[in-house]
Structure 1
Amino acid sequence: MSVDTRNQHTDPAAPGSSSAGGPSVTPSDTISGKLVGSIVATAILSFLGLLLETVVNILFPALMADFGITMSAVSWMTTGYLLVVSVIMPLSGYLQRRFTARSLFVTAAIAVMAGALVAAMAPVYPVLLAGRLLQGIGTGIATPLMFSIIMMQAPRAKVGMLMGVGGLILGIAPALGPTLGGAIGTLAGWRLIFWLNIPLLVIALVVGARSIQQATPTRKEHLAVGQLVLLALGLVGLVLGIERIGAMVSSGTPGAAAMAVAIATPIVGLVCLALFVRAAGRSDHPLIHLNVLRDGTYAWSLVAFAFLQFITLGLGYVLPTYAQMSMGHSSLVAGLAVLPAAVIGAVFAPLGGVILDHVGARVPIMTGAVVALVSAVLLAVLGVRVNLVLLAVMYLVFMLGFGLAFANTQTHGMAHVAQHLTPDATAMMNTCQQFAGALSMTVLSTIVAVRQSGLTSGTAAFQHGTRSGSAGGLAVLAAVAVVGLVAEHMGLKKRD
């Protein structure tokens, strides 16, 4: 039988139950105005992070031309940002126990705003990248804070719906991003998007400062700096290693030093991750309490959640890149082509949450996962053989399935996590989500860059290379979708 969040108030392990760490701020079925304000304010920060991911992706060709950089270099605008977010997010459990939610939110808002100003005025590419990385710090704090507020403060009967609303707010970003990026790239220049961040950030800062409440008392806690360093080195090592291997393959005749770095970097990353797991498991003050993984439902849902993120960000990169660099469409046309799909994904997130609240997790999650798999396979088989309209239709079908499954996978996975472990479970979910996104961008941009290597932009050969790389990327995403469906099934099976 699937988990039904309508009945979780009777489960002693459910978030918000008194035996799991005290009652939540909102014990009744009423959603308070302050809770709504808290969700909206934190969601705006996460929204802007996702918006800029998709805007930047579609502006890659313009940024490459403006700064005279390669595809591998410009992809770090997204990859580097996601890495920073994935390194910051494991700290969220510690931060939420040590500091008040309001102070964390204000810090995050200031970081995102400062990053926007730096990027908007950047004279060279490294400064632009630095501004984007600074924004990653703020997003890394704000995103898990939003989901912790929902899980710890929302009425149990409304958790699925509110998680869906959070997914809707975040889903609007990829819905607007490609089209907005295309319009800005065509009409006004990329700097405008960073200036447009400022008014929204001011609104979020005011609303959040007035609305955010504290669900549990703060306490002094030891920060496991060594574990954080190991985790950061592990995540960065894996992603950078894949990027270095791609650069080595693209160069054709790599030197011995480049080959040694490319081989050693991912190995060092894996070793550091293994050491982190060992240290956290033995520590009295772990950076993340890994015992949340003892629940099979949570563990399998974590895998599925990360894989869905891998596929979604991968498609968000491959399809606009292919439409522009191989099919010859403008950034605006490419953005408009993916807009309907992104809107469908955003709309179906809260709808899926409502379905979960009423009938349990199995129906929306498995329906969404199957639809996502079928469409991912169709994209792999037919994606580079059809026109832009049919490509957009297949992507729309994928996003329909994604909208049903994504937020519900997180809700289902966390449904039986004790309240005192909610920050850790949220941190792990969001860390894996962001790392999966960074890994996806690195893998897919490497595949495309390898096929473009040595070819002159704008030529027929370059278009063919982009087409070949895009086909390879779509095949990888279809394979990941198969594994994701298996993970969804196992996560649901644990509660049958």
Structure 2
Amino acid sequence: MEKQTKNTLAVLATAFMSFVGILTETSLNVTFPAMMKQFQVSLDTIQWITTGYLLMIAIIMISSSYQNERFTARQLFISAAVAFITGSMISAFASSFYILLLGRLISALGVGLCTPMMFNLIVEVIPRQSWGFYMGIAGLVIAMAPTLGPAFGGSVSYYLNWRWIFIIAAIFALFVFIAGIIVIGRYHPIQKKSFNWLAYIFLSLSLVSLVIGVNQLSKGLQNWRLWGLLILTVLLFISFVIISKKSTRKLLDLQVFEDKAFVFGAFAYFLLQFINIG
């Protein structure tokens, strides 16, 4: 197989895996009433199968730079596919809400690994003059998948039931996995670098605290848990920044935030995704 064709198929394999993972971000929202009735839980509880899923993806993505240096693309893709398929099947046959949530978190591990890898592969194996086209495809995956999610989830739950959302996603992911392991290879030597676990833990905890805190808004602004968790979020994030500046092991390069163009671009993209998914 021609090298460039193989590289293109490798990018498409990660794109399809990311697509099916991101599709299930929002596909379950329309099934909340059915699952609330089946598992006898409240809306505040059942929404964690989406909120927890997105939160886990974000936490895994934080370490994407380290993952790209420490492991090969093939290793990451296999890990992502196995995690997503395993988590989807656990969710499909879950007998309780907590088993369902566990399956979702395992699936999120796969999406958190695969989505950054899609962008890494583009800049690593695709000629520079074609970056714009492939970045557009990657952007389309991220934008369209959550948009199509409710329609997909609604159609499947109407004709079958919500469990088939996971089964269909797992079957699709299995085909992508089989194709992916044929075309995805090793593109750079791995570097056995140490990982800044302390900074990672503080940043992850700050995200968890922020999400749980924001969820307290439904109980009113007078709720002490809301303000307590938001203050905790700020303290954890400040601790992360201090640890990152003192450590030689960089989890995230904070110097990029000194570039105004990057900051405004990142903020605009954040608002775009917030509006789209929200």
Tell me the TM-score range normalised by the shorter chain.
over 0.9
The one-letter code sitting in structure 2 at the alignment partner of 1:178 is P
- Whether 1:271 aligns to 2:235 is yes
- Cα deviation, 1:147-169, whole Å, max 9, x if unaligned, reads 11112222122111111112334
CA distance in 2, matches of 1:189, 1:200: 17
- Whether 1:307 aligns to 2:278 is no
What is aligned with 1:83?
55
Unaligned runs of 5+ in 2: none
CA distance in 1, matches of 2:155, 2:255: 47
Secondary structure of the equivalent of 2:104? helix
Q: Is the alpha carbon distance of 1:171 and 1:300 closer, same or farther for their aligned partners in structure 2, counting shifts above 3 Å?
A: closer
Per-residue deviation at 1:31? 8.6
The one-letter code sitting in structure 2 at the alignment partner of 1:298 is F
CA distance in 2, matches of 1:230, 1:55: 31
Per-residue deviation at 1:301? 1.2
What is aligned with 1:126?
98
CA distance in 1, matches of 2:161, 2:40: 16
Per-residue deviation at 1:171? 4.2
- Please identify the structure whose Cα radius of gyration is greater: 1
* Among candidates 278, 286, 302, match of residue 250 of structure 2: 286
Write the mapping of 1:442-453 to structure 2, written as runs, cut at 5 A: none
CA distance in 1, matches of 2:166, 2:173: 11
* Among candidates 191, 194, 206, match of residue 163 of structure 2: 191
Per-residue deviation at 1:125? 1.1
Larger displacement relative to structure 2 (235-244 or 293-302):
293-302
Identity %: 34
Larger displacement relative to structure 2 (193-202 or 226-235):
193-202
Write the mapping of 1:92-171 to structure 2, written as runs, cut at 5 A: 92-171=64-143
Per-residue deviation at 1:172? 4.4
Asked whether the equivalents of residues 239 and 266 of structure 1 are also in contact (C-alpha less than 8 Å), the reply is: no
CA distance in 2, matches of 1:294, 1:203: 43
TM-score by length of 2: 0.93
Name the Cα RMSD after superposition: 2.0
CA distance in 2, matches of 1:98, 1:110: 19
What is aligned with 1:296?
260
Secondary structure of the equivalent of 2:220? helix
Asked whether the equivalents of residues 77 and 113 of structure 2 are also in contact (C-alpha less than 8 Å), the reply is: yes
Secondary structure of the equivalent of 1:32? helix
The one-letter code sitting in structure 1 at the alignment partner of 2:29 is N
What is aligned with 1:238?
210
Per-residue deviation at 1:244? 2.3
Q: Is the alpha carbon distance of 1:186 and 1:271 closer, same or farther for their aligned partners in structure 2, counting shifts above 3 Å?
A: same
Asked whether the equivalents of residues 39 and 166 of structure 1 are also in contact (C-alpha less than 8 Å), the reply is: no
* Among candidates 56, 59, 75, match of residue 31 of structure 2: 59
- Cα deviation, 1:401-435, whole Å, max 9, x if unaligned, reads xxxxxxxxxxxxxxxxxxxxxxxxxxxxxxxxxxx
The one-letter code sitting in structure 2 at the alignment partner of 1:157 is Q
The one-letter code sitting in structure 2 at the alignment partner of 1:132 is R
The one-letter code sitting in structure 2 at the alignment partner of 1:147 is F
Per-residue deviation at 1:174? 3.4
Q: Count matched residues.
A: 277
What is aligned with 2:226?
262
TM-score by length of 1: 0.53
The one-letter code sitting in structure 2 at the alignment partner of 1:182 is G
